[in-house]
Structure 1
Amino acid sequence: MAVSLKGRTAIVTGAGGGLGRTHALLLARAGARVIVNDIPQSLANAQAVVGEIQAAGGQAEAFGASVTDEAAVAEMVAKAGTVDILVNNAGILRDKSFSKMDLADFRLVMDVHLMGSVICTKAVWDGMRERNYGRIVMTTSSSGLYGNFGQSNYGAAKMALVGFMQTLSLEGAKNNVKVNCLAPTARTAMTENLLPPQALALLGPEFVSPALLALVAENAPTRTILAAGAQGVEAAQITLTKGISIKGLDDLDAAQAILDRLGKIGDLATATVPGSGLEQGQVELGKALGA
């Protein structure tokens, strides 16, 4: 049986294009009424997405607001009425190596990705808890989970969202508010000249949105990080190994014992930890290409 969101209202931030657009289209196709959000300067793009949804027989409205504007976000939530689903998708990039990065650009990326998600979540949180129903998705990234050169600001914000999700999933559990993370792999302007056409075709944002839909469904999981792209879906885990005991050792000797036994401490058995964010995409593309 297909996922149905009939009777539900969803807000998707940053939905005037890219991943936000495909998320909004799929949520509407599943029956949800969708509030298509983007910054006021991109309201025309949001309205175009609303037009697509309505042309397909769905329900949608556009709302222009920066996710960093608390008053505008509160107005959007009030206008939406009952909000059952929040997809925190809005974001920006200011990529540079850390040595060349201005702190202003670090703060800006943190403000949009992290605080923008916090502001939007805070605006819907009490209502979801009072109604004993809510589905919230944070958009994390392989750059936060595993690191990518030149994205210290973006990676820090995206990993912070995982921590935000971990705690909110616990706090929302008794009120049926489920909170998850999505780590998408999709083509961007930056990848256009780095990957062959066959790979780019497989990295369309539309291949990520089914995982988003699963994370906001009636029977969605909670405290789950799904990585998705190229028609592949994986789960990312924050793991803890069995490790070793340093009981009885002097502090100096204990430190050396840790260094000597890092292999044992880090033994993941059948689990793996990608060395970089690119590996998530490589796994997904490998399956898609039949490697």
Structure 2
Amino acid sequence: MRDRFPLLWLALHRRRRMLTALVLGMAVFELLIVVIAGTVPHGRMFGGDGGGRTPPSAFKAFSGSTGSVSIGSYPGLVGAGLTHPFWIALQVTAIASLSAAAVAADVESGTIELVVVRPVSRARLLAERTAAPVLAALALNAVATLTVAAGVALSPDMHHDVPLRGVFIAGLLGWALTLCLLGPALAVSAAARRRAHVLGAAIALGAVGFALNFVALAWSKAGPLRYASPFHYYTPGDILAHPTVPWGSLSVLCGVGVAGIAAAFAVLLRRDLAP
């Protein structure tokens, strides 16, 4: 890989310690979520699926549900680990760092003209540096999915309510969400002259997107705003309870990501790279 895709390898090699820490952090976090979920008596938190108190509507955002799954159920508790702000922070960290390094960092440091020379074309530069965050996001979601799957498989009670098929479908949708965040971040990197612009855009997409979905679920008058948030289409809680592939949501998330990547190529091929 070093000989065939040197820019991809270099992008990952330079951030190997950060990526290793993110992967380990993801594994430990998801393991804790599964262990904690296994210690909560079924249906006891907030009344669960049974009678008694029910959680506020806004809590749907924390379990990745549109309303059919309570955060007090096993699917809701496990889903909370796949849409928790810490999970989002780990994903955004990888996306922001590698997206900023794709173009904007070299433009800011003045080294872009040394990199984009023959036989390294602009298209090849962006293609290999786009592959780096895509692979990083794939690794993070794979670790999260496999950790949750192992925990669910080892807990008979949890496995009864959370099919393993649902865990893997939720992992697939999680990767689609990261692709949705990555595409626009790369487009900003291709157009920006400062890495801070890319970092800010990636953080805004993650934080503001989650907050928008939270507000839309908590306040009925703001309900239509949920369609503008990528987290409206990412519903791991619902998928864990009802393991079917949400083709519509998957198409929206992947479509936004691919559109962002395509925009990044279009911008980079036409922009002036002079400092």
Give the TM-score of the pair, scaled to structure 1: 0.30
| Structure with more contact order per residue of length (Cα contacts < 8 Å, sep ≥ 6) | 2
| Structure with the bigger percentage of strand | 1
| Structure with the bigger percentage of helix | 2
